[in-house]
Amino acid sequence: MDYNKIFAEIYTELEKIPDTGKIASYIPELGNVDPNKFGVHLTTTDNQDYSFGDANEKFSIQSIAKVLALILAYDLEGEKLWDRVGVEPSGTSFNSLVQLESDLGIPRNPFINAGALVISDVLVGHLKNPKTDFINFVRKVANDPTIDYSSRIADSEKSTGYRNAALANFMKSFNNIHNEIDVVLDFYFHMCSIEMTCKELSRTFLFMAKKGVNTHNNEAILSAAKSKRINSIMQLCGFYDEAGEFAFKVGLPGKSGVGGGIIAIYPGKYSIAVWSPKLNKKGNSSRGIKFLEMLTTEV
Ligand code: DON
């Protein structure tokens, strides 16, 4: 399949459609990114790479990192994890507080901020040096020792992170956060600040198209059964209150971030990362979704 040609053709069509999205500015540093950036990278399960546009430029992967955090937490905590976080689509925005009171502090799923804060708490509880151990895990999966946090972005989010602080405090009142709030938030803000290019992101997530097996060394990052579950959670919850719409339009498990990135997985076939910083009202990349919709509709 000549994906390079297909990408160029789709982009030509995409440019004709006005992008009404807006760059995320509630994290001040994200507001400094050029809104017109656009990159795509696709990696097939037999290791063919296809790139388009700004695919080699780093951006803040934000909530996409929640998938890697979940995978590590699931490995460390096992099935007990699901006592503290659900696997149901929330139908609410990513940073919503509303369901937590009636759900007694148990977030609906691990990808809304509340759920990712519980996952962060699990990791802080298990790991000796949480931030170092987590980035080392990401580097191992990515087969790239240079992947790193951006302290600039983590600090920027910390300076305005009142909602996440509210979520963590509220869940602690239900005893679903076990560690110090500041430590959990610091871990969470760093986890969200990881920077990657589309190429790095696509290659990092290829194992999710290969039943959990890391292409670089043929080691299992997680079992086939667990990788099925993580893909299912991405399919149902990866786009918050736009998850149904994304499934309807694109038809693949995926995860978005407010940096404008999206990772999507075609099990058995490929992983694909798209980056376009302008977001729709649900906080997901508007052009990124449209691009993937056009791709999976066409081929
Ligand atoms: O907690 C936040 O608001 C951000 N660090 C992450 C949010 C995010 O990426 C939502 N995804 N579209």
Query: Quick check: CB of 164 below 6 Å from ligand 1?
Result: yes
Is 243 exposed, middle or buried (CB count within 10 Å of its CB: 0-12, 13-18, 19+)? buried
- Residue 133 CA to residue 139 CA, distance in Å, equals 10
The pLDDT of residue 216: 84
Q: Which atom of ligand 1 is nearest to the CA of 279?
A: 12
In the predicted model, what is the mean pLDDT of residues 5-33?
95
Query: Quick check: CB of 285 below 6 Å from ligand 1?
Result: no
Tell me the CA–centroid distance for residue 217 and ligand 1, in Å. Answer: 31
**To 10 degrees, what angle do helices 286-298 and 3-15 make?**
130
For residue range 262-288, what is the model confidence (pLDDT) as tens digits? Answer: 999 999 999 999 999 999 999 999 999
Tell me the CA–centroid distance for residue 24 and ligand 1, in Å. Answer: 10
Which residue, among 260, 263, 262, 194, has the nearest Cα to 25 in the 3D structure? Answer: 260
The pLDDT of residue 215: 86
The yes-or-no verdict on residue 94 having pLDDT over 90 is yes
The yes-or-no verdict on residue 47 having pLDDT over 90 is yes
Is 297 exposed, middle or buried (CB count within 10 Å of its CB: 0-12, 13-18, 19+)? exposed
Helices (H), 161-285: 162-173, 181-192, 198-204, 224-237, 243-249
Q: Are 209 and 45 in contact (CB under 8 A)?
A: yes
- Closest residue to atom 11 of ligand 1, CA basis: 257
Query: Quick check: CB of 62 below 6 Å from ligand 1?
Result: yes
Domain 3-298 -> CATH class: alpha beta
Tell me the CA–centroid distance for residue 189 and ligand 1, in Å. Answer: 9
Residue 299's pLDDT band, with cuts at 50, 70 and 90, is confident
Q: Which residue reads 């699901």 in tokens?
A: 82
The pLDDT of residue 12: 97
Hey, what are 212's tokens? 């959990």
Q: Are 208 and 230 in contact (CB under 8 A)?
A: yes
Q: Are 282 and 239 in contact (CB under 8 A)?
A: yes
Q: Is 275 helix (H, G, I), strand (E, B) or coil?
A: strand
Q: Which atom of ligand 1 is nearest to the CA of 284?
A: 12
Tell me the CA–centroid distance for residue 5 and ligand 1, in Å. Answer: 32
Tell me the CA–centroid distance for residue 299 and ligand 1, in Å. Answer: 30
Residue 4's pLDDT band, with cuts at 50, 70 and 90, is very high
